[in-house]
Amino acid sequence: MAEDEASVYLQATTRAVWAPRGQTPVVGVHPGRDMTHFYGTLNLLTGEEVAQHGPVMNAEVTAQHLETLLAKFPEVPLLLFWDQAPWHRGAAINAVLTANPRLQTVFFPTAAPDLNPQEHVWKAARSVVSHNHTEKRLATLADRFQEHLNTTTFDYSFVEKYDFESLCARFK
């Protein structure tokens, strides 16, 4: 599994704007920086996404997301790849890992988001849901974003690209 966090803002990002020739397009923007944070974990074998949103990114909320993963995939060993964000360490994280030895974590190298397949999931979801949106309520946008994440299968070749079988064998 590959895990990461992202934020969704009420202010839309633009990818492309079309307008009649000779007319400058007008793009409305929200004046604030209202946002919500998402935790997302991609199952590298199936492409299934487990996503949830919350008000902050910290070790306690991260630990809650780990508990969600453990409940979603009971009785099987989990190998979780994630970055070195500060909220991936601390007492709350250590407590979950100690209580659940079937969950092992591997850190991606520092400053290497291109290695994390979850980054590709964020990009795909933003393209469909949050780029060029006209939503006026953050809660509605967040619900649409989470719904898309949790109902879409995301294909990524991490398993083939990095010889998944031999990688997993190192953690048995």
**Residue-level pLDDT, tens digit, the chain, 172 residues:** 999 999 998 876 776 777 889 988 776 666 667 789 999 999 998 999 999 988 899 999 999 999 999 999 998 999 999 999 999 999 999 999 999 999 999 999 998 888 899 999 999 999 898 877 778 888 999 999 999 999 999 987 766 666 656 655 655 5
**Closest C-alpha to 1, from 57, 68, 64:** 68
Determine the pLDDT at residue 167.
58
Of 1.10.10.410, 1.10.3720.10, 3.30.420.10, 3.40.50.1980, which CATH number belongs to 2-10+34-169?
A: 3.30.420.10
Query: Is 32 within 8 Å of 13 (Cβ atoms)?
Result: no
Determine the pLDDT at residue 161.
65
Determine the pLDDT at residue 119.
94
**Closest C-alpha to 13, from 146, 148, 134:** 134
Residues with Cβ within 8 Å of 134's Cβ and at least 6 positions away in sequence, in order, are 12, 28
Determine the pLDDT at residue 54.
84
Which residues sit opposite 35 in a β-bridge?
A: 9
Determine the pLDDT at residue 170.
56
